[in-house]
Amino acid sequence: MSATSSSGEYLAAPVLPNVLPTPKERGKIMGFIHRHPTIVIGGTLVAIMVLIAVFAPLLWTKDPTALAPARRTREPSDLYWFGTDMLGRDVYSRVLYGARVSLLVGFSVATLAAIIGTTLGLIAGFTRSVDAIVMRVMDGLMSIPPILLAIALMALTRASVKNVIIAISIAEFPRVCRLVRGVVLSLREQPYVEAAIASGTKVPVIIWKHILPNTLAPLMVQATFICASAMITEATLSFIGAGTPPIIPSWGNIMAEGRALWQVKPYIVFFPAIFLSITVLAVNLLGDGLRDALDPRLAKRL
Amino acid sequence: MLSYVTRRIIATIPVVLIVAFFVFSLLYLAPGDPAAIIAGDQATPADVDRIRESLGLDRPFLVRFFDWLWRILQGDLGTSIFTNLPVSHMIQQRIEPTLSLMVLTLFLSLSCAIPMGVIAAWKHGTWVDRAVMMTAVFGFSTPVFVIGYLLAYFFALKLDWLPVQGFTSISHGLFPFLRNLILPAVALGLVYMALIARITRATMLDVLSQDYVRTAKAKGVGQRGILFLHALKNAAVPIVTIVGIGFAALIGGAVVTESVFAIPGLGRLTVDAILRRDYPVIQGVVLLFSCVYVLVNLGVDLLYTLFDPRIRY
Amino acid sequence: MDRRGFLRTAALGAVATAGGLATPNLARAADNKVLRFVPQANLANLDPIWTTQYVVRNGSLLIWDMLYGVNDKLEPQPQMVQSHDVSADYKTWTFTLRPGLKFHDGEPVRSKDVIASINRWMARDATMGLPIKRRLDALEAVDDATFRFRLNQPYPKMLFALGKSSTPCLFIMPERIASTDPFKQITEYVGSGPMRFNKNDWVPGSKAVFERFDGYVPRAEKANWLSGGKRMNFDRVEWHILPDSATASAALQNNEVDWVETPSPDLIPLLRKAAGVNVDIADPLGNIGSLRLNHLHPPFNDVRARRAVQMALSQEDYMRAVVGDDETLWKGVPGYFTPDTPLYTEVGGEPLKGKRDYEGAKKLLKEAGYNGEPIILLVATDVAITKAQGDVTADLLKRIGMNVQYTALDWGTVGQRRAKKEAPAAGGWNIFHTWHAGADCVNPAPYIALDAGGDTAWFGWPKSELVQAKIAEWYGAPDLAAEKKVIEELNKAAMEHVVYVPTGFFKGYQAWRKSVSGVVKAPFPLFWDVTKA
């Protein structure tokens, strides 16, 4: 942490003249770390989680769904690193495989919500006739609290990872849509865009050349935060019993199953909770860092 | 001013209508069949069909939507399929716990978050600032139910200071009321507190870097404290906005918190109703929550004019 | 409601409201006069004829009285009835009510109330009510206290039917309530039982409150399960609904509730250690877990495929998953009837005993023509017992080479989906899980799950003429020895046909504060004779 705090102080006092000349041998990488410690910490943690998820089968895990009722609720030991759950499944293996679901849901929702939100936001921003309708519908969707909306959507369909992703994306994308529309509306008034429109440049070209590049920074930041909140929402849905199918080891499911035993076997809930919190924390840090790096002005507003 | 208020209020009507339509069509499409649940384990398929008919679940979509809307306009939210009680009555019974939880959570989180944010801005760049920011990031990186179980484990089971579950009405005294509600409010409030502390810090820094404050500083006006008081007043608008937007998180969190602490509020009513496909109750509650959310944000909009006299519409 | 009745209700309401204002904290009434009970599930409605949920029956037992009540040997004993008279051919049954029976609204219980209640119940009770209805020439009031059945065929099991404790039970309601369509819910909860229901304090999903009915005159005998004198020592019985079993146990440890009906077996060691908590078996008759197969569609329309599952299924796995490591709580049952009851038999139970045969199962599946088609397994994930069974089944089917499609639903949706006779791929199903109370599996009369009448059978629609013939034979059996012989043959026939696969016999615990005494082991919570220090 000491590296972080020294860099933090360095960061925090930009108005001071830089009395300490940067040693020339300090590489670009170290510079980056010093300027954006949160990106580095968050990014590293996310990368580790991704590696864990991808290489789960190689990390001394067993079949995470194999039952063994005869050796249920074993405490953590050499044999079962994180213990076993109420059906005798190995919690360590389940938690490692669980990273796959959380990350998949987080990244997919972020991507899906960004794509849908951007598309609709662009359409709304450029087409006045559509704008009113789309934005009223977005207002309507946004006035249903996201978790409530996601629960209601999950009650509609069969539990599956795909449906969880769709439900959370629907709950999240209106915020992207509003953001993108806002950017479009403010950019449209810029002289160079007006000039482009007046000179008959086609709308797709304007979007490609002027709008998208300016949307990208806030969009990336927003997508990161959506990713974090989607992972929490997935866990919450599973916890309530309206999320990922229980046969799939996701962190939310492991916690939901373990909660009946939290007084006697707290480790069943504890390990997935730690992994989930660290991952969400990492993604949030990454988002904070990106925001600071990409758009200092936005950083202050959010 | 008055016409602005009227215009804002009228503008919320289509939003609420869209919500109503959305909520209704969602649950119309749901695959669960309340008739089969009601009929119970021993029922024959013929029994199930009869129950379905007697509930009017076999009528077409639009008929049911307009029928439903018309009755809502008359203040009738329908009757629960499971309890046979009016939905409005069930909601009424459960408003107090949820309202208490939200008010206490708001109070706790605001009274922690704003000082935290201000101090962080004041001590900008020091370890205090970073500690506050780290707490905030942790706050919204941990699921509400994990915090809830942790708190219950230590404060109720290990230390035996507070009850594990339940709700006591404030009419039975302030102390029993707080005893039951303090853990859920802290669990629920952490996310909210994190959100507000961050925005407070950010807007404070923003305001402090603005020209007029710098000018004031350069002129040597007043003490730092007074300066911060001014800045805080100017930061009020974004803070209030976040309080309004964050209200959605509060509602979502209440659903989970009420389950963890067995609080007989609207959140648990919602979860129970959804798992049981009690259509009228789900529709009533989601509509209510959404209306409250819309109203809160309407209130926030109107508050702007109070906080910031420069805003005129 | 007549005008006087309306005025009285209005006046009562006013008094109740005024009382409520004057003493806001009714719960503060002397602590030992209030019992705080955590029931097995939410009391979402209170019409015990309209729904068959056990929890509704249990609440109803406080509000409504029954003509007959079973004792701990499941024998019907007169409860509201003073005496009965039956003709030699078992066709005419005459009953006389005992004097002094009163409804909570002050009206006496009359024959017309009983007749209306019997009519509503007969329409909804498939195992015993409908058979009476089919035999019925007349059900008539002789006078205010006497009523008579005239049947066109003998029905020797009449008293069992009137006193049956399996749902729906015959509860006696006032005529105006009992004349409600049996397929619509009643809205008034007035009975003649020892407690009245406080509708104002009812918060479905959270709390239900019963208050002592002072006009109740208990029978002179000591209470024994649902028979004898139901003497209440509480002014108020509060049901606190706590769906999360961890929360319920914690509340009991913290003295926030007095009695938990179904604590999670895994938390029992903790409760045993807790000061001030007693733990004991809840119901000696226990429960029988069920793996229900769909007999209409491949592969399980072929008895060989059903036998494949049967020979590979390990009841130990199911029982450990359902109730945990406490081996006193469960045992394997190579049969369909409740262990430790007179008709229990293991004849024909060999396929469920001994080492489990995965290779044999694979071979049988092949013979049955199974070729990797998806098997739709419906799992109600919101109910611990069905969830645990479903998880074990998914694992089992994988082991015998079946392609499982684990379909996670809530209990309500399983209830809907299992009623579909369509092919599994077209919205139907292959397997679901449930369990049956041991009290309902003591003989074929309340045993809806063992019926193999094809289309009219319970979900899964097993069809076996041999099973049906044996059930009919049992109804005619003259004595216990004859009954036992028939039941052995029935058990064997049902095993061979694989009507369903029992996943084991298990008991549950109940737990209560040491300050409470008089808690009885039974298939339902019994509040009479319970006291609190």
| Tokens found for residue C473 | 């034979």
Bigger pLDDT: C456 or A283?
A283
Burial class of residue A10, CB neighbours in 10 A (0-12, 13-18, 19+)? middle
Contact C204 B83 (CB under 8 A): yes
Q: How confident is the model at residue C368 (pLDDT cuts 50, 70, 90)?
A: very high
Find the range with the poorest average confidence among A115-119, A262-266, B88-92, C234-238.
A262-266
**What is the average pLDDT value for chain C, to the nearest integer?**
88
Q: Which of A129-143, A284-298, C231-245, C488-502 has the lowest mean pLDDT?
A: A284-298
Band of residue C11 on the pLDDT scale cut at 50, 70, 90:
very low
DSSP for B36-103 reads HHHH-TT--HHHHHHHHHHTTTTS-HHHHHHHHHHHHHTT---B-TTT-SBHHHHHHHHHHHHHHHHH
Count of alpha carbons within 13 angstroms of residue C117, beta-carbon side: 25
* Predicted confidence band of residue C489 (pLDDT cuts 50, 70, 90): very high
Closest CA to C37 of C245, C193, C237, C205: C237
Q: Do C205 and B272 touch (CB under 8 A)?
A: yes
Q: What is the pLDDT of residue C477?
A: 84
Q: Touching check for A259 and chain C: CB below 8 Å?
A: yes
C161 and C296 housed in the same domain: no
Contact criterion met (CB below 8 Å) for A274 and A76:
no
Residue C455: per-residue pLDDT:
80
Q: In the numeric block, which tokens belong to residue C405?
A: 């499609």
What's residue B211's pLDDT?
Answer: 63
Q: What secondary structure, in 3-state letters, does C75-100 show?
A: CEEECCEEEEEECCCCCEEEEEECCC
Indicate whether C513 pLDDT > 90. yes
The model's confidence at residue A158, banded by pLDDT at 50, 70 and 90, is confident
Rounded-to-integer distance, Cα C91 and Cα C415, Å: 38
B165 in reach of chain C (CB within 8 A): yes
Instruction: Kindly tell me if the per-residue pLDDT of C25 is higher than 90.
Output: no
Average pLDDT rounded to a whole number, residues C32-53: 86
Residues in chain B within 8 Å Cβ distance of A236: 143-145, 252, 256
Percent of chain A scoring above 90 in pLDDT: 31
> Does residue A85 register a pLDDT over 50?
yes
| Residue type at position B44 | T
- Complex ipTM tops 0.90: no
- At residue A159 the predicted structure's pLDDT band, cuts being 50, 70 and 90, is confident
Q: Pseudo-torsion of CA C83, C86, C92, C96, nearest 10°?
A: -10
The lowest-confidence range among A69-73, A279-283, B40-44, C461-465 is B40-44
Residues of chain B in contact with residue C243, where contact means CB-CB under 8 angstroms, are 259, 262, 272
Q: Which helix (H) or strand (E) holds C207?
A: strand C207-212
| Amino acid sitting at position B81 | I
The length of chain B in residues reads 313
Ranking A212-226, B1-15, C112-126, C240-254 by mean pLDDT, the lowest is B1-15
CA dist., res. C428 & res. C430, Å (int): 7
Q: Which residues from chain B sit within 8 angstroms of residue A263, using beta carbons?
A: 153, 157
Cβ within 8 Å of residue C235, ≥6 positions away: C29, C30, C33, C34, C211, C212
* C10: confidence class by pLDDT, cuts 50, 70, 90: very low
Q: What pLDDT was estimated at residue B307?
A: 64
Are the CB atoms for C105 and C172 separated by under 8 Å? no
User: Low-confidence residues of chain B, pLDDT below 70?
Assistant: 1-2, 27, 30-45, 55-57, 211-227, 305-313
Residue C260 sits in the same domain as residue C347: no
Q: Is residue C172 over pLDDT 60?
A: yes
3-state secondary structure of C341: coil
Q: Is C296 among the domain residues?
A: yes
Where do the structural domains in chain A lie, given as residue ranges?
102-293
A contacts of C394 (beta carbons < 8 Å): 247
Domain membership of residue C192 (yes or no) is: no
Q: Tell me if C103 is assigned to some domain.
A: yes
The fraction of chain C above a pLDDT of 90, given in percent, is: 62
Q: Are residue C259 and residue C319 in the same domain, yes or no? A: no
Give chain C's end-to-end CA distance (angstroms, integer).
Answer: 41
Helices (H), C67-188: 111-124, 129-135, 158-163, 175-178
Per-residue buried b or exposed e for A250-268, using 16+ beta carbons within 10 Å of the residue's own CB: bbbbbbbbbbbbbbbbbbb
In this prediction, residue C112 has a pLDDT band, given cuts at 50, 70 and 90, of: very high
Interface contact flag, B40 C185, Cβ < 8 Å = no
The neighbours of chain A, by the rule of 3 or more Cβ pairs under 8 Å, are B, C
Chain C residues with CB under 8 Å of B172 CB are: 24-25
Flag whether pLDDT at C416 surpasses 80. Answer: no
Partner-chain contact C246 A259, CB within 8 Å: yes
Tell me how close the Cα of B28 comes to any Cα of chain A, in angstroms: 9
Q: What angle do CA B149, B151, B154 make, to 5 degrees?
A: 105
Which chain C residues are Cβ-neighbours of B83 within 8 angstroms?
44-45, 204
Burial of C120 (0-12, 13-18, 19+ CB in 10 A): buried
How far apart are the C-alpha atoms of C318 and C322, rounded to whole Å? 6
| Spatial separation of the C-alpha atoms in residues B97 and A283, rounded to whole Å | 34
For residues B222 and C400, which has the higher predicted lDDT (pLDDT)? C400
- C369 and C440 inside one domain: yes
Best of C317, C404, C411 to substitute, by most chain A Cβ atoms within 10 angstroms, is: C317
CATH code where residue C358 lies:
3.10.105.10
Q: How close, in Å, is residue C415 to chain A by CA atoms? A: 15
Range of the domain at C374: 287-506
CATH number of the domain enclosing C59: 3.90.76.10
For residue A241, the distance in angstroms to the closest alpha carbon of chain C comes to: 7
CA distance A218 to C173: 67
Q: How far apart are CA A180 and CA A117, in angstroms?
A: 7
Residue C262 and residue C153 share a domain: no
Cβ-Cβ contacts under 8 Å between A and B: the total is 149
Whether residue C101 is found in the same domain as residue C152? yes
A112 or B270, greater pLDDT: A112
Same domain, C502 and C514: no
Instruction: Determine, for residues A67 and C407 on separate chains, whether the beta-carbon distance falls below 8 Å.
Output: no
Q: Which chain B residues have a beta carbon less than 8 Å from that of C416?
A: 31-33, 35-37, 48
Contacts of C476 (CB under 8 A, 6+ apart): none
> Would the pLDDT of A11 be above 50?
no
The pLDDT tens digits for C450-480 are 989 888 788 899 999 999 999 989 988 888 9
Q: Which segments of C292-383 does DSSP mark as H helices, in order?
A: 303-312, 315-323, 358-367
Among candidates A254, C49, A293, C296, which has minimal Cα distance to B146?
A: A254
Nearest to B19 among A144, A255, A266 (CB): A144
Task: Tally the domains of chain C.
Answer: 3
Q: Which residues lie across from C76 on neighbouring strands?
A: C70
CA distance C427 to B31: 11
Q: pLDDT value at position A302?
A: 41
Tally of residues, chain C:
533
Going from the C-alpha of C482 to that of each of B174, C152, C158, C349, C485, the distances in angstroms are 68, 26, 20, 20, 5
Q: Does C325 touch chain A (CB under 8 A)?
A: yes
Q: What is the DSSP string of C364-385?
A: HHHHTT--S-EEEEEEETTSHH
How far CA C443 is from CA of C146, C242, C466, in Å, comes to 31, 33, 17
pLDDT at C382 over 80: no
Look at residues C169, C174, C178, C165 and name the one whose alpha carbon lies nearest to residue C192. Answer: C174
| B269 interfacial to chain C (CB closer than 8 Å) | yes
pLDDT at res. C134: 87
pLDDT at C497 over 90: yes
**Pairwise CB contact (< 8 Å): A152 & B125:** no
Q: Is residue C448's pLDDT more than 90?
A: no
State how far residue C188 is from chain A, nearest Cα, in angstroms. Answer: 32
Written as six digits, the tokens of B229 are 């008081």
The reply to whether residue B35 touches residue C416, judged by beta carbons under 8 angstroms, is yes
- Share of residues in chain A with pLDDT > 70 (%): 86
User: What DSSP letter does each residue of A194-238 carry, written as one string?
Assistant: HHHHHTT--HHHHIIIIIHHHHHHHHHHHHHHHHHHHHHHHHHHH
Chains that touch C (3 or more CB pairs under 8 A): A, B
In angstroms, the CA B35 to CA B54 distance is: 9
The residue ranking higher by pLDDT, C502 or A132, is C502
- Chain A partners within 8 Å of C408 (Cβ): 158-159, 245-247
Q: Which two tokens stand for residue A91?
A: 């919690």
Q: C380: which strand partners?
A: C409
Residue A103: band (very low, low, confident or very high) from pLDDT cuts 50, 70, 90: very high
Same domain for C292 and C270, yes or no, is no
Distance from CA of C295 to the nearest CA of B (A): 17
Question: What are the pLDDT digits (tens) for A14-67?
Answer: 333 344 445 555 566 667 777 778 888 999 999 999 999 999 898 888 888 888
Q: Which residues contact C350 (CB under 8 A, 6 or more apart)?
A: C334
Suggest the residue from C43, C51, C249, C290 to mutate for an interface test with chain B (most B CBs closer than 10 A): C51
Q: Is residue C482 domain-shared with residue C451, that is, in the same domain?
A: yes
CB contact under 8 A, C266 and A73: yes
Rounded mean pLDDT of A286-294? Answer: 83
For residues A64 and A247, give the distance between their C-alpha atoms in angstroms, rounded to a whole number: 10
State yes or no: pLDDT of C403 exceeds 50. Answer: yes
A232 to chain B: which residues are within 8 Å by CB? 141, 143
Q: Examine the domain organization and report whether C294 and C436 are in the same domain.
A: yes
Q: Is residue C397 pLDDT above 70, yes or no? A: yes
Summarised one tens digit per residue, pLDDT across range A192-243 is 888 888 888 888 888 888 888 888 888 888 899 899 999 999 998 888 877 8
- Whether C189 maps to a domain, the answer reads no
CATH C-level class of A102-293? mainly alpha
For domain B91-307, the CATH superfamily is MetI-like (1.10.3720.10)
Contact yes or no for C234/C33 (Cβ under 8 A) = yes
Do residues B59 and B28 make contact, with C-beta atoms less than 8 angstroms apart?
no
- The b-or-e profile of C494-513 (16+ CB within 10 A means b, else e) is bbbbbbbbbbbbbbbbbbbb
Whether the ω angle into residue C299 lies within 30 degrees of 0, i.e. cis, is: yes
The reported pLDDT for the residue numbered C514 is: 95
pTM, entire model: 0.82
| Angstroms from A136 CA to nearest CA on chain C | 34
pLDDT reported for residue C179: 95
- Show me where the domains of chain B are located: 2-73, 91-307
Let me know if A129 is exposed, middle or buried by CB neighbors in 10 A (0-12, 13-18, 19+): exposed
The shortest CB-CB distance from C381 to any of A65, A241, A259 is to: A241
Are C438 and C523 in contact by the 8 Å Cβ rule? The answer is yes
Q: Which residues, including other chains, have CB under 8 Å from residue A254's CB and lie 6 or more apart?
A: A85, A91, A94, A95, A98, A268, A269, A271, A272
Spatial separation of the C-alpha atoms in residues A35 and A40, rounded to whole Å: 10
The DSSP element (H or E) to which C35 belongs, if any, is strand C34-38
- Cross-strand pairs, C532: C516
